[in-house]
Each structure stands twice: as C-alpha cells, then as structure tokens.
Structure 1
C-alpha cells in the first residue's frame, strides 16, 4: 500500500466527534423527501407533503414513494388493486394472532405487532435484501405495508374479546383500516380525515425509527427485520408514543377556566407540555396546522379547548420565557382528530405506525441499493485498559 493510501485508510478510521444523538449530522443521501425546519416545510420527493395530504389519496402517495411518481388513473387502479389483495394474512399468521394478543395484552397492539410482523415475514418467505432483486424487495415491502393495518386491528379486537374483521378490497387503505377496527364502514368525512393524517405522517426525515430501519437494512437483513426494528423505535414515548399523551393534557386541563393556572404551573416548573415542541421545527409544525384545520371542520368542545390551549401556551411562554418559541407538534391535533374519528387511544400510536410503515419501507428500499453497512463508533469512557485479570478467589 502506498503512503498516500495508507494515510487515507488511517484517516478513515480516525474517530470524528459529532453532536449527541447525531443531531444535524448528515449520514446519507436520499431522494425520498426532506424536512426544512426553519421554514416549517417538509416534502415527499418533489411535492409538499401537506399539499399531497390535502389533494391526494393514500394509495397515490404510497405509489409515489414506491415508484417515484404519482400515478395516472390506470396506474392508480392497478396499484390499489394490487395492494388491496395483499391485506389478507397467511393462515399461519392468523392462527397465531390470538396467542400474540393474549401475551401482549398489557402492552397493547403495537407490541404484539412486533411479533406478528416478524412472523409475517417468515411466513411469506422474506429473504435478506442483500440476496434478492429490487423487484422482490419492492414486493416484500408492499406485502408488509398492506398487512400492517390488518395485524394491528386484529390484535386490538382480539385484546377486547372481539373477533377480527376481514379486510375489504373495495375500501381505500384508510377506510378499510377504520372498518377493520370498528366493524362498521366509516363515514366519508371520518375516513378522509384519517386518510389525511396518515398521508401527513408517512415520512418525516431521518427520525429515530426511520434511521433504525435503514441501519438494519444496511446489514442486508430482510424487510420484516427492518420494519420490526422501526416499530420498536416508534414505540418510545419520545417518538411515536405522544398522541394519546397530548390528549391526556387536554383531559387534565378539562375546562377553559383551568387553562391559565395549569399552563403557568407547568411552565414555571420547567415541565414538558406534551404535544408542544419539535426537535427540527423552529416554526409551527405544518402537520399540526393542517390537522387543526381538519379538527375545526368537525368542531365541538374538545376542538375549542385545544385551540384555546394552543393560544394560551404560546402567550404564556412569550410572557414567562421571552425568546423561547414553542408550537404544537403533529401529536397535539393528531390526538384530537383521532378522538373525533372514534379511534380508541391505545390505537393512536399504532395508527401512526400504519402510515409510517410505508415511509420505512421506502427507506429500506433506498438503503438496500447501497451495500455499505452503517457502522459508527463510540467513545470509550470506562476504566483504563488493559488491567490485570484478578485471580480466582
């Protein structure tokens, strides 16, 4: 090896100091989308994600992630039919669901889905992405994404002592999800509201669960492995576990006359107010703005309370913590919208997963094109080595 090549190899192994949590560190290139936090804007490929949620259906945006373009009428029909046909579960998975639901009863459907999703991948014969073609990888992600709503709703219903509801091919992704959850065909307004929420949360930069999926995909593991890891990351309360907690805040406040003292007490104590703040946005979260508009179309006391709480939090912060901006994030009004559409609170985060599985899948497909494994370093801070191994007493 020449001196120059040796120096390059040595330099490539030298540790590079980065911020804790990799905040702001660019780790790869992506064509899937971006979050521009200072502008309060995010996009899927070249399109505004909010505009897509306002004007397109879930299947259209799913097609955009998988195939890189929005479908025309013929492509939409074919894609919708293909994914709808994948909603039904293999017999081996269906047979295992009662046991999974019973075992995960205290933890909920999202915990059960980690097991069920892994079993689904095995039953469908998913193979390492490193070993299969791009077409096979894509087929595996479609099969997994289409089955996730079926898994989640079946596990929830079994946990409630109810029989699972079989999926319907004639309903859209969002309407079918609500149908399998409740057993009744949903009102169009509710189905559309949930569809808009699902579209708005398909992808959102290199968040913890997306990065987890890409790390696993970088090892060449199969699609199910990457998705199971992503679900595990999403389950944490600092990531996807916040919509129901944000709604708990509104429950704790209860009435308008309690807003002022409740918020002042939390702000002065330095407590976190669930549903407010975001690690990327320094402006209003565009997803929250869209979901507030959806909530206001339904109206009612809960919406009135939520809007007033948002206004008072911002005003009180401006008074007590000048210069510290804190706006609602997606979880705040997501919880309100899902409550208005009749979703049980234990299904809030699972519903988030029913959308994000499409984004995780797209990231897995993109990562699988790069054979470089993601392998960062850690700084050792333990006792000085080597130390003499003590003799056995």
Structure 2
C-alpha cells in the first residue's frame, strides 16, 4: 500500500547504527564530548577554568558564594537587589523539615564508620520525599529550579548535623544572618568564625563549585536525563564523589605530609613511592597539563596564614615536582586542588573527616546547575559497551 506524503514532510533516511565494536572509544571516556553546556569549561592545556563567561578563580577572589550560586542557577551575576533577595531566599531554606531532623540521629548512627557523606545520601533522599520533589520530567523549569535551590541550601545543614551527631553533639541550627560559608563553619563548630577564616573557606567553596564533566557531575546528569527528581540526581552524584579517586584526596594529601614528617625525609619517601608505582595523593590531574589554577589560588591563601605547616607543604610541593620531573620526564605532574585544599581547611579548623563533605557542600550547587541544564533536554543518556566476552550465540548445554 502506498502512503501519500506532502512535499513539506520529506522522507529522511535512517542512518544505520554503527557497531560498537567498530568505534574506538578511549578508556574512561577521556576527551569524549558527550553534550553541550553553558555552565563552564576546563581548559587543561592552558591551566584555566571558568563558570559561564567568568574566570572561576577571579570569581573566588572577588565575589561571595551566593553571587556565584546565582550565576550558575540563573545564568547571570546578581545586581545588589537580586543579591539581597537571593541571599535571603537561600538562607531561609537552610532549616530542615521536622521529619528529616527527627531521622538524623538514626542516620548518623547507621553511618557512623562511613561518616557524614554516606549519611548524606540517605538524608537527601528523605529531604526530597519530605519536600515533595517530583521527577524533573514532569515539572516546569521554575519548579525544577526551586527544588535545586532547596536541596543545595539544605546540604550544609545536613552534613554538619550528621557530623556533630556522630560525635555525640547536638546539631547547631543555621543562622539566616550569616553568609553561606560563615554559616557552614558556625553549624560545624558552634562558634561564629573569624572573618579571615570564613573568607578563606568561602574562596575554597567557590573554587570547587563546578569543574567540567567530572565523575560526580556526569553521574548527576545521567540520572537527570532519565527524568528523575533532583534529590535522586544529587544522591547519585554524592555516591560518585565518595570514591577515593574523586573526592577523597584532600585528607589523604595531608596524610602524605604527616607520613613524610620532616624536610630531610621528603626525597627518600617520595622516591620510594614513585619507583614502587604508588600514586602521590595531591599530585596530578586527568585534565590539567599545567599547574592546577585552584591549587595556585589555595597556595596563596595558605601562605597568607603562614606557619610551619604551610612552609613544609610548599617545600614538599617543590621537591615532589622536581623528583617527578626527574623520574617521569615528559609528564606534567603538579599539585592539584586537593593538596592545598587540605592545608587551608586544616588551618581554618575543619576536621579531616569533613574535608570531602565540605567539597560536597560546594559541589551541590554545581551539580544542581548541571541537573537543571540536563533536565531541559529530554534525551536520555544511553551509551553502549563493546562486548568482549565469549562468542555468541552458543547452544545452552543440557541440565
């Protein structure tokens, strides 16, 4: 039977799907472009990264956290009136629903050995249910944005409450009169932080809000592409971040400083690890082939505090880079964000078990922006794998 088609609707031939076996894809999808984004980019060869059209480092040096949050979620830096409104909006969302608060002691007890980041996965799921989050596929852009801001605003409250409960302390209620970073430190310690340390943590948080299609951001976008709710997307991102090869390095970089101990031990300690093929935590990055710009900024922050710990860290950095250049010529291996992030957080009084959770308190904003961008595209992310198992089909043997 023939079908009449008008000239306005031409027949488009279907391109056959290329066999997965014929496509050469690098391990870990290194360098593979998976989508377009307006949120930001990492230019590894140049040693530069940006949020929308602005240098991320310049934003960290000149703006507050709420300004950059507004930039990522709303697409522009706020003027004075919008800054005031957005700061008030997000500060009011820091308090948790009663049913979530009531469940936190049990969550903290159950995740005692794993820490607040493990508890955050459960707490975020409960928050999404308590707030009535719906699949992003079923709601409009305004409701998605509301859910994203609600969830990101609650993350610091959840993390600090879980940390304190795990140590036998009562959670500290958030304060709406404090900026994001200062309130985070206040909820963590129970004392209002001095401005210098609050600003240092704010700069660290801004510098880590987003960083290209890293494992946790990509995970959040994959889940968002299924149409799931914002909380589900964030839970997946937190799960990816919990891996030691992604978010677990700041405290491990400090462990390296502790293990070396004294300046005269640097050379032998590092050479032994490099020759054994061990990874030196805090050095090297899958994207940057120059110095990590975040590391440079955080080194400057650490040096502004000064002290023996900072001097030793700088000495270790210089000697490690010299040894790596000697033993691995041709490879650009420099400090990454984790090395000096650990030093700065330690100087500001954060316990090591809260280093990665603090990273999550910033990255929740970047994840949210990526979730919103992905939710605007209804195409599900569905790659293929190259099958390398036994040839098929083979007859099933008789039982």
The interval holding the TM-score normalised by the smaller chain is over 0.9
Q: CA deviation at 1:32?
A: 0.3
Q: Deviations over 1:296-334 (max 9, x none)?
A: 011111101100000001112222332222100000000
The aligned counterpart of 1:144 is 151
Q: CA deviation at 1:272?
A: 1.0
Taking only aligned residues, the RMSD between alpha carbons, in angstroms, comes to 1.5
Q: Does 1:35 align with 2:39?
A: no
**Which of 70, 74, 82 does residue 75 from structure 1 map onto?**
82
CA distance in structure 2 between the partners assigned to 1:108 and 1:312 by the alignment: 34
Question: Normalised by the size of structure 1, how large is the TM-score?
Answer: 0.97
The aligned counterpart of 1:114 is 121
The aligned counterpart of 1:45 is 52
Q: Is 260-269 or 51-60 further displaced after alignment?
A: 260-269
Give the 3-state SS of the residue equivalent to 1:17 in structure 2: coil
Question: Normalised by the size of structure 2, how large is the TM-score?
Answer: 0.96
Give the 3-state SS of the residue equivalent to 1:35 in structure 2: strand
- Residues 1-393 of structure 1 aligned to structure 2 (within 5 Å): 5-8=12-15, 10-11=16-17, 16-392=23-399
Q: Deviations over 1:203-242 (max 9, x none)?
A: 0000000000000000000000100000000000000111
Q: CA deviation at 1:29?
A: 0.3
Q: Deviations over 1:274-308 (max 9, x none)?
A: 00000000000000000000000111111011000
- Confirm or deny: 8 A CA contact 2:20 2:384 kept in the other structure: no
CA distance in structure 2 between the partners assigned to 1:273 and 1:387 by the alignment: 46
- Shift in CA distance, 13/179, structure 1 to aligned 2, threshold 3 Å: same
The aligned counterpart of 2:8 is none
- The runs of 5 or more residues in structure 2 that have no matched partner are 6-10
CA distance in structure 1 between the partners assigned to 2:376 and 2:14 by the alignment: 29
Q: Deviations over 1:156-207 (max 9, x none)?
A: 0000000000000000000000000000000111100000000000000000
- The runs of 5 or more residues in structure 1 that have no matched partner are none
Q: CA deviation at 1:263?
A: 1.4
Give the 3-state SS of the residue equivalent to 1:11 in structure 2: coil
CA distance in structure 2 between the partners assigned to 1:321 and 1:104 by the alignment: 41
Q: Is 128-137 or 255-264 further displaced after alignment?
A: 255-264
Q: CA deviation at 1:125?
A: 0.2
Give the 3-state SS of the residue equivalent to 2:17 in structure 1: helix
Give the 3-state SS of the residue equivalent to 2:271 in structure 1: helix
